[in-house]
């Protein structure tokens, strides 16, 4: 009887230890997946390209695609981890030609896009909910970009490089006749560009999300 009790105790302890190990393994997997998706995001950020009819100082990239997909699959904290890895690796891969201002804008833009989409999708966890969440996030990110570019990014950039705001506005005026000052540049150049950028990412994310979630099942828990 005593031996039976000892065997049962050992089995219970072994099961408890195994459960802890399984829990530990599961906890690590989202971190590994976040790091991987952050690395993919950094590579996509490095593959930026100009867009016709947009000012020459802005570039298009799809680095927010892994961010939004990771956020949908694993939650907002994972999305923040992916953004952090993306920005950190971007500095290592290509450094910075904007004294970090461009990277700051990219980071703020990623957060202002990912958080609304993920938080809304967790509330409306359906295909229709995903579409509405992405549409709302696109509008939120584009509107946020207008504000932080107007009051933070462009003034800081001009100050760091000793440029006048008029010279920056002149570059945008070459692609849009409606640009006359900084605010009109935000309204007629930067806002359409950011709407196009985030809408493009949203369409791709909507098309591939469900398939990717099935593929990564077990890595995101």
Tens-digit pLDDT profile for residues 180-209: 999 999 999 999 999 999 999 999 999 999
12, pLDDT greater than 70: no
101, pLDDT greater than 90: yes
Question: In this structure, is residue 20 part of a structural domain?
Answer: no
Question: In this structure, is residue 90 part of a structural domain?
Answer: yes
Percent of the chain with pLDDT over 70: 86
For the beta carbon of residue 148, count every other beta carbon within 10 angstroms: 15
User: Which residues constitute the domain of residue 39?
Assistant: 25-215
Q: Are 221 and 29 in contact (CB under 8 A)?
A: yes
Give the CATH number for residue 146: 1.10.1760.20
In this prediction the pTM is 0.85
Question: In this structure, is residue 16 part of a structural domain?
Answer: no
Q: How far is the C-alpha of 167 from the C-alpha of 81, rounded, in Å?
A: 37
Mean pLDDT (whole number) for 131-139: 98
Residue of 110, 102, 105 lying closest to 85 (CA atoms):
110
How high does pLDDT run on average in the chain? Answer: 88
Cα angle at 101 between 119 and 117, to 5 degrees?
Answer: 10
Tokens (6 digits) for 55: 């000012």
User: How confident is the model at residue 8, as a pLDDT?
Assistant: 43
Burial of 121 from C-beta contacts in 10 A (0-12 / 13-18 / 19+)? buried
Q: How far is the C-alpha of 75 from the C-alpha of 135, rounded, in Å?
A: 18
Tens-digit pLDDT profile for residues 40-99: 999 999 999 999 888 888 999 999 999 999 999 999 999 999 999 999 999 998 889 899
Question: In this structure, is residue 9 part of a structural domain?
Answer: no
- How many domains in the chain? 1
Question: In this structure, is residue 2 part of a structural domain?
Answer: no
**Left if phi > 0, otherwise alpha if psi is -120 to 50, otherwise beta: which for 214?**
alpha
For the residues of 201-214, what is the DSSP string, one character each? HHHHHHHHHHHHHH
Question: In this structure, is residue 43 part of a structural domain?
Answer: yes
Mean pLDDT (whole number) for 94-112: 94
Most confident listed range (26-30, 82-86, 164-168, 213-217): 82-86
Phi, psi of 219 (to 5 degrees): -95, -15
Question: In this structure, is residue 221 part of a structural domain?
Answer: no
């Amino acid at each position: 009887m005593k031996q039976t009790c000892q065997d049962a105790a050992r089995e219970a302890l072994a099961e408890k230890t195994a459960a802890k190990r399984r829990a530990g393994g599961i906890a690590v997997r989202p971190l590994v997946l976040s790091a991987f998706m952050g690395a993919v995001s950094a590579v996509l950020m490095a593959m930026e390209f100009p867009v016709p009819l947009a000012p020459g100082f802005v570039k298009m990239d799809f680095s927010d695609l892994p961010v939004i997909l990771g956020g949908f699959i694993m939650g907002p904290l994972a999305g923040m981890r992916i953004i952090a890895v993306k920005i950190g690796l971007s500095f290592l891969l290509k450094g910075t030609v904007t004294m970090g201002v461009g990277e700051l804008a990219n980071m703020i833009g990623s957060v202002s896009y990912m958080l609304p989409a993920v938080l809304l999708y967790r509330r409306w966890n359906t295909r229709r909910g995903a579409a509405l969440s992405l549409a709302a996030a696109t509008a939120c990110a584009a509107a946020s970009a207008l504000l932080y570019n107007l009051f933070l990014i462009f003034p800081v950039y001009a100050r760091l490089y000793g440029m006048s705001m008029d010279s920056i506005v002149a570059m945008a005026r070459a692609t849009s006749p409606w640009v006359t000052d900084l605010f009109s540049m935000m309204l007629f150049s930067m806002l359409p560009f950011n709407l196009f950028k985030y809408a493009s990412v949203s369409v791709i994310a909507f098309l591939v999300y469900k398939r990717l979630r099935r593929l990564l099942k077990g890595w995101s828990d």
